[in-house]
């Protein structure tokens, strides 16, 4: 009997070594990392929502013509505009979308849409950015809508940029590649020509593959924009010394449609950070 009891005790002790203990974190390390990443993602989405909503609340008034940007941050500005139109807070608004994705979202929300063909002057345009430097120059176009974004936003009296603090940088380039939209005709020649420009010295040009809405290679086919063009992403290891000069040189290259450097266009940047929301003008 004593032998049987001892055996039971030994079995219980061995089993306890594999059993969860009270007060001990038994979640696998990979699960903890995944949960942490999920929380960070949710937090970033909340920041994007805050600046997206604030941009509409502070800068859009009834009767305006509004430019609607493209991307995960601009999504919330479009959402907010739809809400305020639906509840009657805003009236007589027409909007110009900068991509097919934004057009579809706006239509679902019942936002009246027009184009630059009928409304060449906008009161305000709201969009996100991939990088913002201290002079409020931007890199945009990670989502592939850079041409339509620039065409719309350059026509606005006010261009409001909405970002979280991770998009702020001391110099454009190293943190996010500069996209350049080029014609499909002789695209390899145009890619080499852009990379050889004096202002682009040291860059690594990469033809975007797969989806045009991501600068991460996710397919075997060349990415095609909403306008039927290709995108070359210019990767830099050092900060761009003169962004306006680079913008001019790239734009003047035959075969280039436009680029993702938005220089001298920004009215204000609404920034969401760990300490709250701030505005830089």
Going across the sheet that includes 256-259, the strands are 204-207, 230-235, 178-182, 256-259
* Cα–Cα distance list, 13 to 1, 17, 163 (Å): 19, 7, 55
Please identify which of the residues 91, 135, 149, 165 carries the catalytic annotation: 149
Residue 130 CB: number of other CB atoms within 10 A?
A: 23
- Is 149 tagged catalytic? yes
CA distance 17 to 57: 58
Q: Which residue has the tokens 């339509």?
A: 148
User: Distance between CA 146 and CA 261 in Å, rounded?
Assistant: 9
DSSP-based three-state secondary structure for 54:
helix
Cα atoms in the 13 Å half-sphere on the side-chain side of 257: 25
Residue length of the chain:
281
The two structure tokens encoding residue 19: 């059993």
Beta carbons within 8 Å of 101's beta carbon, 6+ residues apart: 70, 145, 213
Q: Are strands 138-139 and 131-132 parallel, antiparallel or unpaired?
A: antiparallel
Cα three-residue angle 18-22-23, rounded to 5 degrees? 115
Dist CA 226 CA 233 (whole Å): 17
Catalytic annotation, residues: 149
């Amino acid at each position: 009997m004593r032998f049987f009891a001892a055996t039971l005790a030994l079995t219980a002790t061995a089993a306890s070594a594999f059993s969860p203990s009270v007060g001990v974190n038994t979640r696998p390390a990979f699960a903890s990392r995944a949960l942490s990443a999920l929380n960070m993602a949710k937090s970033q989405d909340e920041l994007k929502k805050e600046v997206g909503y604030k941009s509409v609340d502070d800068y859009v008034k009834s009767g305006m013509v509004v430019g609607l940007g493209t991307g995960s941050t601009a999504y919330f500005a479009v959402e907010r505009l739809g809400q305020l139109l639906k509840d009657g807070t805003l009236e007589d608004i027409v909007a110009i979308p900068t991509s097919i994705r934004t057009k579809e979202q706006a239509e679902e929300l019942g936002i009246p849409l027009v184009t630059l063909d009928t409304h060449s002057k906008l009161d305000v345009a709201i969009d996100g950015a991939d990088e913002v430097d201290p002079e409020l120059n931007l890199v945009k176009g990670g989502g592939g809508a850079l041409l339509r974004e620039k065409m719309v936003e350059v026509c606005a009296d006010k261009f409001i940029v909405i970002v979280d603090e991770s998009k702020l940088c001391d110099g454009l380039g190293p943190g996010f590649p500069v996209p350049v939209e080029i014609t499909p005709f002789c695209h390899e020649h145009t890619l080499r020509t852009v990379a050889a420009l004096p202002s682009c010295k040291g860059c690594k040009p990469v033809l975007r593959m797969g989806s045009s809405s991501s600068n991460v290679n996710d397919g075997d086919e060349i990415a095609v924009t909403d306008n039927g063009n290709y995108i070359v992403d210019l990767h830099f290891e050092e900060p761009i010394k003169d962004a306006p000069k680079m913008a001019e040189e790239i734009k003047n290259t035959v075969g280039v449609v436009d680029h993702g450097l938005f220089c001298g266009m920004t009215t204000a940047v609404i920034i969401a950070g760990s300490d709250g929301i701030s505005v830089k003008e």
